[in-house]
Every structure is written in structure tokens, then in C-alpha cells.
Amino acid sequence: MSSSFTCRWGILSTGWIANKFVLDLLTDPSTRDASDVKHQVVAVGSRSTDSAKRFVEETWKEAGVTAGQDQVKLYGTYEELYRDESVDCIYVGTPHSHHYANVHAALSAGKNVLCEKSLVVNSKQAQVLVDLARQKNLFLMEATWTRCLPFASKLQAVLASGAIGEVRAVQSAMCFDWTEIVRQNPDHRLINPNLAGGALLDLSPYSYTILALSILPRSKASPEPLPMPKVVSSAIKTPLGVDASSTTTINFEQPDGRIVPGTMSSAIDRVTPPERCALIQGSLGYITIRTPANVPQSFTVERYGAGHPMWMSDMEHKSTTYDFVMSKGTWGFAYEADEVARCLRDGKKESDIIPLRETILQMQIFDEIRRQNDLAYPEALETVDLK
């Protein structure tokens, strides 16, 4: 292409995750071999113009750039951001508890939206937002950035090649020990039920993503719902009633009728060892993925040699490792931003990489996990009614 498409972003919220997202928007796309799209932050909405101004100053300084900083419009309310006609897409980086209201308002105002994971608190809210986006003919995507990374496409290509044969089972984990952090701050969002805290909505989207990339049959954008798999789960609660950890097995039916189990774990009270992030077991070998599940550093394909797989010690393995190193100054969020830009450029209303029906399915599975473990948030967070 002779010229690239520029996506003009409005940033809703000025917290940690928004900072990292904007840092990636400010990087040169050529560092990740992207020449067809570019990004421009044109507006930031916060609770005050002072906090929006501070966010821009600190983020641009951290990025080591000055270009475009003085052109960013600063808004002290989200409503002003929704009304900005120069914004192509709004990035929502507020806590999970606020996603539904924020995205609903942005879509209602006629804005395309990229919203942090998890998209919302439950599947009913997800369905309302998807229906609203389709009614308004707007783009909507959950910011499950892992699925847009080069890692994801390479993993799916290797699996499709038959490198490990027929996939028989998958295990994945995303666990961080935040015990000391929440001990020092008892109101921290991670354990606060009023902010939809807990490991499930914060970390499980990543461990689930490994399962989805490996054994959820590929699907593209479509209004047709996906079938709900069988789910068996157990969880341990914190004193405030959110989940400190959960382990869940999901049975995914394959196109040939086989059932392949995927087991995922997430926790905020322990750490996943680097070599135990994920294991994909196949009939001809297996794949191990190194931590962390949100941005895997590498994966290794081990193919069985001569002999019977039961006697692993007597076999010669054929091993191949694929490494994934982010370009300097990039966290990895830029890849999902590139996907949004390409979709908007091409007139798409949802991404084939993260189809909306897969987002709804994930929320349905999470609903079932919460049901089985009696995990509920305050009604004000669960409702689809906006007052």
C-alpha cells in the first residue's frame, strides 16, 4: 500500500493499563513490521482535566516523545470524550465493574470501542453490548491482546500443521502472587467485590485464551451463537467473597465429534512457574508454553521419536522452540490496536481474530464457573439496567 491508515484514538480512563496501551500507540509501527496502519491519540477523558493533563504529560515523557502531545484534547468528563467527532475509536481501560456502563455510553454516542478484558461482568451484559453495537453498526472488540500477538498466530499455524498430531488435552495457568499487595491495600481492586475483583475476571481470560487458541474450533465473525461446553469448576474465596483461585475443566467438542478437555487455573495467591504456563498434549507430541500466559515468551514443540509414547525415556525427541521478543519499548498492546485499525479501515464491525460470539461464549463459561462456586458481585454490577 502506498499510504497507511491512521486510527484516531480517544482514551477513556488514565490508570495503569491505559498508560501501557498509549505507550504502545506511541511506538513506531515499523518496529513490529506494520506499515499499513498508524495510531494517533487525539483525546483523553478522565475525572478531571488535571488528571487527563497529568496522564498525557507523564505518558509522553515515559515514551520519550513529544510529537502530538500538544494536540491531545483533555476532557474532565467521559461524556465530552464521547462527543468528540475526531475520535475513530474509544479505548476503555476502567475497572471491570465500570466496563458495561462505559461501553454502553460510548456505543450509544456512536463510537467504535475497544474495551479491556474482561469485556463485562456477565454474559447478559456482553449480549446487550454486542446487540447494541450491531444495531448501531459500530465496531466492538474485547481487548484480549494475547490473541493478536505473533505468538498466537504461530501457535495456531503449528497446531494446524499437525506437528503434534491430534490434540488430546490442554492445561494452562495464569497465577500471580499479589498477597503482599492486597495485604497493604485491603481495598485493592483485585479483592474488592464492588470493583468485580478476583482472579477469574482479571487472570482467567488469559489462561482461557490458551485453551481457546488450542482447542476451541476456529470461528469467524457471525451472529450465530457458539455451543456451550460442559464446565466443571472449583474455587477458593477470599474473606471478602471474591475468588482467590479457581481450577476449571472445559470439554470442547471438535468438528469430528471428539471431546477435548481443557483445564485452566488462575490465582492471586501463588506464582505459575515459567515452564508450567501451558501444556498441549497431542497424539504425536506435545507443546509447552513458557510464562506468562498473557504474553508468552516462547513455546517448544516436542515430537515423539521411535518407540511407544508410554516409555518416554526410551524415545528420541525432535524439538523445536519458537521465541517471541517484543520490539524495544513495546508492551504488546500495539498488536490489538493494529487489528482494530485494520478492521476500521476495511469497514469491519468485529474482528475475525476475536469474534464477538467467542467473547460471549467466554462470559457464559465464566458465568457457569461463578454459579458452581457461588461467586456473585453486587446486583448493581450484575444488572443490565442503567440508571
- Could you tell me which residues come within 8 angstroms of residue 117 by beta carbon, excluding any fewer than 6 positions away? 142, 143, 144, 205
Query: Can you read off the three cell numbers belonging to residue 37?
Result: 496502519
Distance CA 149, CA 138 (A): 24
For residue 314, what pLDDT is reported?
52
Low-confidence ranges of the chain (pLDDT < 50): 1
Dihedral sign (CA 148, 149, 150, 152): negative
For residue 312, what pLDDT is reported?
56
Give the residue among 294, 297, 260, 295 at the shortest CA–CA distance from 275: 297
pTM: 0.95
pLDDT in tens, 173-216: 999 999 999 999 999 999 999 999 999 999 999 999 999 999 99
| Segments in 306-385 forming alpha helices (H) | 334-345, 356-372, 379-382
DSSP category for residue 375? -
Contact (CB, 8 A) for 355 and 18: no
pLDDT in tens, 238-292: 999 999 999 999 999 999 999 999 999 999 999 999 988 999 999 999 999 998 9
For residue 1, what pLDDT is reported?
43
Q: Which residues pair with 75 in a beta bridge?
A: 45
For residue 206, what pLDDT is reported?
97
Distance CA 10, CA 85 (A): 10
Give the residue among 299, 350, 301, 317 at the shortest CA–CA distance from 141: 350
